[in-house]
């Protein structure tokens, strides 16, 4: 049995699933936090629960409300972008949820500190998703400072590590790594629209398909 403990932010997508399997491979006993934050559908939440069960990890669904909206992932009347290919440098995709990773990480570190866990894992990566400001290396460097100065654990020099093992990897590299670790990609969900099957047209579906093609692997 793993002797180390970690909180894993698990969305149900292939990136967070790979982060979970990395944590397990490193010997961590994982407690998964899954957020129900008013997103368009619950398919990713269902996927996250299945992944947690598959790995024998505990799982907790956190329900929060973001009533100010501000994202096409939160407002069903807003049209989802098909791809980011039309974005110019510096533009933020309409699927960006204001402060989402800041909020999720704050919950995760509160949970980890209360449980006396040694690490928090997140599946963020800066290559394909560089349009999101909270998926960039400089954000995680800054957040480490926040945790070391703003928590009891940090002040007592019992720092909780923030682990973003996919940060510098492309989607194809993540898929190859996940395949090597035995991630059941068939259980993951990426499509922004939900439904019985992926739409194949939204931004997330586009990058997933592109990643599998570049990795030389078949999806599902």
DSSP state of 91: P
SS3 135: helix
In tens, the pLDDT along 113-143 reads 999 999 999 999 976 555 788 988 999 999 9
Q: Which residues of the chain, if any, have pLDDT below 50?
A: 1
Over its C-alpha atoms, the chain yields an Rg (Å, rounded) of 17
Q: What is the pLDDT of residue 103?
A: 96
* Residue length of the chain: 220
pLDDT of residue 111: 98
CA distance 34 to 62: 6
**So what's the pLDDT on residue 84?**
56
Q: List domains and CATH numbers for the chain.
A: 4-215 (3.40.50.620)
State the DSSP string of 33-73.
EEEESS-S-SHHHHHHHHHHHHHT-EEEEEE---TT--STT
- Residue at token pair 């980890």: 112
pTM summary value: 0.93
pLDDT at 1: 45
The pLDDT assigned to 88 comes to 53
């Amino acid at each position: 049995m793993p002797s180390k403990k970690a909180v894993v932010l698990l969305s149900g997508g292939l990136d967070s699933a790979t982060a979970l399997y990395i944590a397990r491979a490193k010997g961590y006993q994982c407690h998964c936090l899954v957020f129900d934050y008013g997103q368009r559908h619950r398919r990713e939440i269902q996927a996250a629960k299945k992944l947690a069960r598959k790995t024998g990890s505990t799982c907790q669904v956190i329900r929060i409300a973001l009533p100010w909206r501000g994202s096409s992932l939160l407002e069903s009347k807003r049209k989802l972008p098909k791809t980011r290919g039309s974005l110019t440098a510096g533009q933020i995709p309409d699927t960006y949820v204001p402060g989402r990773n800041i909020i999720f990480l704050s919950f995760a570190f509160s949970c980890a500190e209360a449980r006396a866990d040694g690490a928090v894992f997140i599946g963020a990566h800066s290559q394909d998703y560089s349009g999101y400001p909270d998926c960039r290396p400089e954000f995680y460097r800054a957040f480490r400072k926040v945790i070391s100065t703003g928590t009891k654990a940090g002040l007592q020099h019992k720092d909780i590590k923030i682990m973003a093992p996919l940060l510098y990897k492309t989607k194809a590299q993540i898929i190859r790594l996940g395949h090597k670790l035995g991630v059941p990609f068939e259980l993951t969900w990426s499509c922004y629209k939900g439904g019985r099957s992926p739409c194949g047209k939204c931004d997330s579906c586009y990058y997933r398909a592109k990643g599998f093609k570049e990795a030389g692997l078949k999806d599902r």
